[in-house]
Amino acid sequence: MFIKDNRFIDNQGRTLWLRGCNVSGSSKVPLVPRGETWRRDSLQKPDTVSFVGRPFHLETADEHLDRLASWGFNLIRLIVTWEAIEHAGPGIYDEEYLAYLRKIVKKCEERGIWVYMDPHQDVWSRWTGGDGAPAWTLEKVGIRLDRIGPTGAALTHQELGDPIPKMMWPTNYNRYAAATMFTLFFAGNTYAPACTIDGQSAQDWLQERYIAAFRHCYRRLKDCKAIIGWGAMNEPHQGFIGYQDLTGLKNNSIALGPIPSAFQAMAAASGYPMRIPVYKTGIFGTRITGFETINNSGTSLFQEGFTCPWKLAGVWGEDQGKPVLLKKDYFATYQKRPVCFTEDFLKPFIKKFRERMNEVNVGSFVFIEGIPNGAHPSWQKEDGTGAVHAFHWYDGATLFSKTFNPHLSVRADNRKLVFGKKAVLKSFIDQLADDIQWAKEHMNNAPCLLGEFGLPFDLFNKKAYKTGNYHRHIEALDMYYKAIESLFLHATIWNYTPDNTHARGDGWNDEDLSIFSEGSPRAMEGWHRPFPRAIAGTPEFFSWNYRRKEVQFIYRTSTNAEGPTEIYLHTSHVGQAPKIEVAAFPTDRQELEAQTTTEATQYAWDRDNSILYVIHPERPSRILVHIQG
């Protein structure tokens, strides 16, 4: 596979359409001991955990991968965390896990499933309310793991208990532990030059350990032909970088519940009780509904001999036993100009990551992500080949409210209300199109892949689990896919979790987005869809109507393509004996009428493998495929 003119092309010259799934939601937590976030003891003994068996046990891998392949998925975004590779300590890699991972990827290769390797994290680590980095990364900068909760440096499911408030975990980006680690990781040399680890700057040490771990992983997977590339980091965050006033709230995905200002977070981490605002966000905006006090006990977050790196940097200090903010705009500038996190810090890191991974395999793609619901880094020809704009998009109103109304939505980009089903669908299309346009204008027209989108299945207080009626879920997913298909956008849905249950969801922060649960697919009519997976030319139009069981596909043939066009078409879509019409037309005719047909076009449907093959005529043509179940 290679990239040409923002398209993925196979070795037969055909345009590929990648459609897949993230595997898996529970890969964020270890299997031994059980690491589901609802387990209060799941953060104990971090150096002895094992991720062998994530995403699934080796003995059941064939079953799961066969199932994914039978659903037409030709791409897996495989979730791998830094902790899974290097949990035991710096430079100590879990070779048993890497050997297991290699066997999983090899099984993907056997089934013709491509793999996009995703170094996954959310709000830095499991100890800061998410997943990703090993516990020792926090300890290396002097943070005591047992004091993260008591000082308000993070909120975790383990400490809060059940039920964890809906979508509370992203607010940890604005709490001390995650915000500090991201700032040190990306920009420690600039904003905390006195902060060192083992005699090296915190930024250089953390980045080197991170890149070395995933490079080592890639070396163990070097002969796995299914791997098409790596992401540099899932949903990177800027931490404190960009704050113009540390007494306020910035860089937040959502304002929900008690959230300290950056200065309050710093003071609380150093042992000062702080009265912080409690936020509520709705369709009409954000407001403060009250106040809470964090760190009532006056506990310090830090190990003996360590102090807050931002205090060392002169951001804040003490006066008569009270914390005092000294430089409220400390993180607002870089080299005497307004800072731009994505260009000044994120992009250089991605370039470094790409260079090191290319030492293992020069031809691998780099899947580039920006800030969640925020800015993306630019990418030009001189920055390197193989770049893919791998942005994420969620229907935010549905994700946060866990309800779905096809006639009412809130745009994820500008949070404006949208009324009417047609307008809602158009808003989905427009939001995705904006990211595609960004890549065209600022990323050298890189191909685009929607790395994450999905639906919480526990809508309406899990009503469907009691009734078995998933019609709203199907409607939502159908609208998401309609938007994706209208743009011929590559996409991997979040997610397939083999051990998902109705009671505990994906096993992480009460998220429940898996398309598979308790041994069965869910709302399958919404996401299990026909699509042209390999096109001997350029696609122009595609639509699937699951109610009418109707496929319409138009493409323009290419003389450079050798193989047939392949359309994934399952008998569950259109039955055993659908009406299939395939016709070729002159390339200069915009209206595709029967009398303008140039010559007959051959096709064959392999029902057993769910592939419709279309062999187009030698002369350049526009091909119309119409299938009616």
pLDDT (average), residues 563-577: 97
Evaluated on CA atoms 462, 463, 467, 473, the torsion sign reads negative
Is residue 598 scored above 80 in pLDDT?
Answer: no
- CB of 350 within 8 A of CB of 385? no
Active site residue 452: yes
Residue 354, amino acid: R
Give the pLDDT score at 254: 85
> How far is residue 601's CA from residue 54's CA, in Å, rounded to a whole number?
46
**Mean pLDDT on 531-558:** 97
Is the pLDDT assigned to residue 590 strictly greater than 80? no
- Active-site residue (options: 235, 485, 511, 550): 235
Q: Is the dihedral of CA 284, 451, 420, 426 positive or negative?
A: positive
| Same domain, yes or no: 602 and 477 | no
- In the numeric block, the tokens 């080592």 are attached to 216
- The answer as to whether 316 is a domain residue is no
Q: Is residue 288 part of a domain?
A: no
Q: Which domain holds residue 575?
A: 531-628
Instruction: Assign 3-class secondary structure to 453-485.
Output: CCCCCCHHHHHHHHHCCCHHHHHHHHHHHHHHH
The verdict on 558 and 499 lying in the same domain is no
pLDDT, residue 594, reads 47
Q: What percent of the chain has pLDDT over 70?
A: 98
pLDDT digits (tens, 9 = 90+) for 32-88: 999 999 999 999 999 999 999 999 999 999 999 999 999 999 999 999 999 999 999
Shared-domain flag, residues 481 and 495:
yes
Are 135 and 125 in contact by the 8 Å Cβ rule? The answer is yes
Q: How many residues are recorded in the chain?
A: 629
Q: What is the 3-state secondary structure (H, E, C) of 382-396?
A: HHCCCEEECCECCCH
11 within some domain: yes
Rounded to 5°, the CA angle 223-229-233 comes to: 125
Report CA 360 to chain centroid distance, whole Å: 24
List, as one string, the DSSP characters of 280-318.
Answer: EEETTEEEEEEEEEE-TT--B-BPTT---HHHHTTSEEE
pLDDT, one tens digit per residue, over 133-144 is 999 999 999 999
**Nearest partner of 121 among 147, 85, 93, judged by Cα:** 85
Q: For residue 234, what are its two tokens?
A: 């899932």
**Res. 131 pLDDT band, cuts 50 70 90:** very high
Say whether pLDDT at 578 is over 60. Answer: yes
Task: Look at residues 511, 527, 543 and tell me which one is the last residue of a structural domain.
Answer: 527
My answer on whether 493 and 622 are in the same domain is: no
Structure tokens at 7: 């398209």
Q: Report which residue type is found at 49.
A: V
Q: Is the pLDDT of residue 161 over 70?
A: yes
Positive or negative CA dihedral for 80, 124, 254, 512?
Answer: positive
- Does residue 347 sit in the same domain as residue 445? yes
Does the residue 472 lie in any domain? yes
* Radius of gyration of the chain, Cα coordinates, nearest whole angstrom: 25
Whole-number pLDDT of residue 271? 97
Question: Residue 462 forms beta bridges with which residues?
Answer: none
Which is catalytic among the residues 36, 83, 86, 452?
A: 452
Residues 520 and 624 reside in one and the same domain: no
Q: What amino acid occupies position 256?
A: L
Amino acid found at 373: N
Residue 253, pLDDT above cutoff 90: no
Q: Which of 39, 44, 35 is nearest to 81 (CA)?
A: 35
Query: Does residue 161 belong to any structural domain of this protein?
Result: no
> What is the pLDDT at residue 559?
86
What confidence tens digit (pLDDT) does each residue in 303-324 have? 999 999 999 999 999 999 999 9
Residue 555 lies in a domain: yes
* Sign of the Cα pseudo-torsion (584, 586, 592, 594, in order): negative
| Structural domain contains residue 331 | no
pLDDT at residue 587 in the model: 80
| Local structure of 596: helix, strand or coil | helix
Backbone angles phi, psi at 367, to 5 degrees: -90, 115
CB neighbours of 251 closer than 8 A, spacing ≥ 6? Answer: 173, 174, 179, 237, 238, 239, 240, 241, 242, 243
At residue 595, the pLDDT reads 43
- Give the pLDDT confidence score for residue 599 in this predicted structure: 57
**Residue 200 token pair:** 């090296």
pLDDT band at 285 (very low <50, low <70, confident <90, very high): confident
Chain segment 425-477, per-residue pLDDT in tens: 999 999 999 999 999 999 999 999 999 999 999 999 999 999 999 999 999 99
- Mean pLDDT confidence for 598-616: 88
The reported pLDDT for the residue numbered 190 is 98
Same-domain check for residues 381 and 463: yes
Q: Of the residues 497, 512, 527, which one is the last residue of a structural domain?
A: 527
Please identify, among 527, 554, 578, the residue that sits at the C-terminal boundary of a domain.
527
The pLDDT of residue 155 is: 97
Strand order in the sheet with 2-4: 2-4, 7-9, 15-16, 531-535, 565-568, 611-615, 602-606
Contact 406, 476 (CB under 8 A): yes
Query: d(Cα 515, Cα 494) in Å, to the nearest integer?
Result: 8
Report the pLDDT value the prediction gives residue 619, as an integer from 0 to 100.
Answer: 86
Query: Would you state the pLDDT for residue 249?
Result: 93
Report whether 324 contacts 182 (CB < 8 A): no
Averaged pLDDT score across all residues of the chain = 95
CATH number of domain containing 433: 3.20.20.80
Tell me: cis bond preceding 236? Omega within 30 of 0 counts.
no
Query: Is residue 173 in a domain?
Result: no
* Per-residue pLDDT at 596 exceeds 80: no
Helical pair 176-191 and 262-269, crossing angle rounded to 10 deg: 100
The pLDDT value recorded for residue 560 is: 87
3-class DSSP assignment, residue 516: strand
With beta carbons less than 8 A apart as the criterion, state whether 95 and 87 touch: no
- Cβ contact 341:243 at 8 Å: no
Q: Is 356 helix (H, G, I), strand (E, B) or coil?
A: helix
Q: What is the pLDDT of residue 381?
A: 94
Strand order across the beta sheet in which 387-389 lies? 387-389, 365-368, 227-231, 114-120, 75-81, 19-23, 490-496, 449-450
Give the pLDDT confidence score for residue 413 in this predicted structure: 83
In this prediction, residues 153-177 reach a mean pLDDT of 94
State mean pLDDT over 539-559: 96
Please indicate, yes or no, whether residues 512 and 566 belong to a single structural domain of this protein.
no
* 593, pLDDT greater than 60: no
pLDDT reading at 589 higher than 80: no
pLDDT score for 538: 95
Q: Are residues 435 and 571 in the same domain?
A: no
pLDDT in tens, 382-427: 999 999 999 999 999 999 999 999 999 998 888 889 999 999 999 9
Domain count across the chain? 2
pLDDT digits (tens, 9 = 90+) for 499-518: 999 999 999 999 999 999 99
Residues 549 and 497 in one domain: no
Q: What are phi and psi of 54, to 5 degrees?
A: -105, 120
Of the candidates 548, 536, 538, 447, which has an alpha carbon nearest to the alpha carbon of residue 490?
447
Do the Cβ atoms of 210 and 346 come closer than 8 Å? no
Provide the pLDDT for residue 71.
Answer: 98
CATH of the domain at 615: 2.60.40.1180
Both 63 and 12 in a single domain?
yes
The answer to whether residues 577 and 429 belong to one domain is no
Residues near 238 by beta carbon (within 8 Å), at least 6 away in sequence: 182, 183, 186, 251, 341, 345, 346, 371
Between the CA atoms of 377, 382, 386 and 391, what dihedral angle is there, to the nearest 10 degrees? 10
Distance of CA 76 to the CA centre of its chain: 12
- pLDDT higher than threshold 90 for residue 19: yes
Beta bridge partners of 338: 333
